[in-house]
Amino acid sequence: MSTLSHRYEFVYLFDVTNGNPNGDPDAGNLPRLDPETNRGLVTDVAIKRKIRNYVALEKEGEPGHAIYMQEKSVLNKQHNQAYAALGIKPEAKKLPKDEAKARELTAWMCKNFFDVRTFGAVMTTEVNAGQVRGPVQIAFATSIDPVLPLEVAITRVAVTNEKDADKERTMGRKHILPYGLYRMHGFISAKLAERTGFSEDDLQLLWRALTNLFEHDRSAARGEMAARKLIVFEHEHPMGNAPAHVLFDRVKVRRINGQDDSPARNYADYQVDIDRDKLPAGVSINEIF
């Protein structure tokens, strides 16, 4: 597997219909909002979680594609795998004094855990496996337009205890957005990929994960979510040929239906325009979908 030789940035569009794309535990699980603009937010952590879950499904059991940050995992046990594989005895909270062995431990974690070599990880716990700065970084996603969360009352037809069988059924609440189209920016560093071993094969797996992200993440809380567009800027030079923000400005998303008198309710209410004129030298645009 060859490591990356090009730098990339990407624009990722996804939407939600009658669902909650990312609940805020500090606000009763309401959809996350920018309080100044009422635009919806989805954290980078939420998107990374879905990427990890997709990779775990597609590559289940395949060497080099274990997931480091997974539900109910004990991180010290993950680190101990590296020590055991390399025959090194761990010392509490410290890396081996031999720098070569310390680098070998971190390299083993990168080689065996997809998300470590992709997103990086701080593995300086009781069993210290070092720290990795990942080549793939993702920003918060923000909705194109302001969104309006709705609180929906729900009832339960069953009860927990027999003594409550004749009582009124429990009432509950769930929060949804009727519709929201979100835009997210991502960055991939070829130079950092050299350090972690993030390869061309890993890159293609990342594109597949973003393409199919929501197909295996269905739930009542998230309603209908769909990946709508993935626009990739590729640089010839590993250090890049143009600033990321200049390239992102070439992608415009605008309302085309009912902009003045009705809220958006589906993807067809928007138009995505990509300015391909006079691209900076050494930069190309690829629409994955």
Question: CA 161, CA 163: separation in Å to the nearest integer?
Answer: 5
* Residue 13 token pair: 């569009």
Strands 8-19 and 171-188 come out as antiparallel
**pLDDT for 63:** 95
- Three-class DSSP category at 122: strand
Question: CA 74, CA 83: separation in Å to the nearest integer?
Answer: 15
Question: CA 10, CA 132: separation in Å to the nearest integer?
Answer: 22
Residue that the structure tokens 């600033």 belong to: 243
Question: CA 44, CA 183: separation in Å to the nearest integer?
Answer: 12
- Three-class DSSP category at 140: coil
Secondary structure E strands in the chain: 8-19, 23-24, 30-31, 39-42, 120-124, 128-133, 136-138, 141-146, 150-155, 171-188, 224-235, 251-255, 270-274, 283-287
Could you give the angle at which helices 200-211 and 44-58 cross, rounded to 10 degrees?
110
Question: CA 96, CA 142: separation in Å to the nearest integer?
Answer: 43
For the chain, 289 residues long, give each residue's pLDDT as a single digit of tens. Answer: 687 999 999 999 999 999 999 999 998 899 999 999 999 999 999 999 999 999 999 999 999 999 999 988 899 999 999 999 999 999 999 999 999 999 999 999 999 999 999 999 999 999 999 999 999 999 999 999 999 999 888 887 777 777 776 776 667 788 999 999 999 999 999 999 999 999 999 999 999 999 999 999 998 888 799 999 999 999 999 999 999 999 999 999 999 976 667 889 999 999 999 999 999 999 999 999 9
Which amino acid type is present at position 59? K
Residue that the structure tokens 């879905």 belong to: 50
**pLDDT for 155:** 81
* CB environment 185-204: b (16+ within 10 A), e (fewer): bbbbbbebbebbbbbeebbe
Cβ(206)–Cβ(136) under 8 Å?
yes
